[in-house]
Amino acid sequence: MGKISISELSYAYQMGGNTLPILREASLALSSGAFATISGPSGSGKSTLLNLIGALDRPQHGDITVGDVELSKLSDRQLAGFRNRMIGFVFQSFHLLPVLSAAENVAWPLYFQGVPRSKRMERAREKLELVGLKDHLNKVPGKLSGGQRQRVAIARALVTEPSVVLADEPTANLDRKTAEEIVVLLRSLNENAGVTFLLATHDPLVVAHAVQRIELVDGKLIEREQVQTQEVLAHA
Ligand SMILES: Nc1ncnc2c1ncn2[C@@H]1O[C@H](COP(=O)(O)OP(=O)(O)OP(=O)(O)O)[C@@H](O)[C@H]1O
Ligand SMILES: [Mg+2]
């Protein structure tokens, strides 16, 4: 359902007449239910890659398939639908709407699916409970800690029951203890729901929990090691 297949993907930014190549015929296969990290130096293209997989942008060359959907075959309108139904995004800076409560923030993506309000709020409550925030449904983000805000963002990413969650530096704004709690939560959600997780990260703590560790080097994706679950837990 959430398998990801990337084939000879190339992407370059155009900068005042210059071409800045970021991805150079990069390929990768992730099976459904994977829990993978993408590491690489700042500027290597991790966010660019997540944006392409999440259909926020289109590659200049190559194919991305998510589940059975070949992204290059979709119109812009179809891509927006794909993004809303199949992908959940989690960002470093949470990207919550400050005037909405936690529950309203989580319910927001369902608005675009035409889900009625009472159903939206019910599903938001379920997801907030899943991430340990059932006592904070009505608080605005400003009244929550960083870790709690990231939990709200994770609940929002899951509310549409996506096949794939893409997280861009999800622990970068968190203290170490909270970062560990968040990565443990992501892993447990991955194991329980079978959703594919792809995390772009610099954080060794997150990489230590990964089952698949991928590096972005000179525009190519290199799988460093396939780790057994027992080993991941032993290192954690
Ligand atoms: N819109 C843009 N126009 C031009 N260049 C860009 C644009 N967005 C990113 N870049 C450049 O492309 C390269 C890759 O950026 P990207 O954000 O994907 O890297 P990253 O690996 O996520 O970095 P970080 O670890 O700092 O988040 C960088 O050199 C960046 O400056
Ligand atoms: Mg980035």
Q: List phi, psi (to 5°) of 11.
A: -150, 135
Protein residue closest via CA to atom 16 of ligand 1: 45
- 186: closest CA among 156, 151, 214, 160? 151
- Range with the poorest average pLDDT among 148-152, 176-180, 185-189, 229-233: 229-233
Encode pLDDT of 24-49 as tens digits.
999 999 999 999 999 999 999 999 99
Protein residue closest via CA to atom 30 of ligand 1: 43
E strands of the chain, at which residues? 4-15, 18-30, 35-39, 61-66, 69-70, 87-91, 164-168, 196-200, 212-217, 220-226
Residues with CB under 6 Å of ligand 1 are 13, 15, 20, 22, 40, 42-48
Which of 10, 18, 19, 47 has the most ligand 1 atoms within 8 A of CB, as the residue to mutate? 47
Ligand 1 atom at shortest distance from the alpha carbon of 40: 21
- What does the mean pLDDT of the chain come to? 93
* Global pTM value: 0.93
Task: Return the pLDDT at 114.
Answer: 94
Structure token pair of residue 205: 């703590």
DSSP per position, 203-216: -HHHHHH-SEEEEE
227 pLDDT higher than 70? no
Protein residue closest via CA to atom 3 of ligand 1: 13
228 pLDDT higher than 80? no
Q: What is the mean pLDDT of residues 174-183?
A: 95
Ordered by where they begin, the domains of the chain are 4-235 (3.40.50.300)
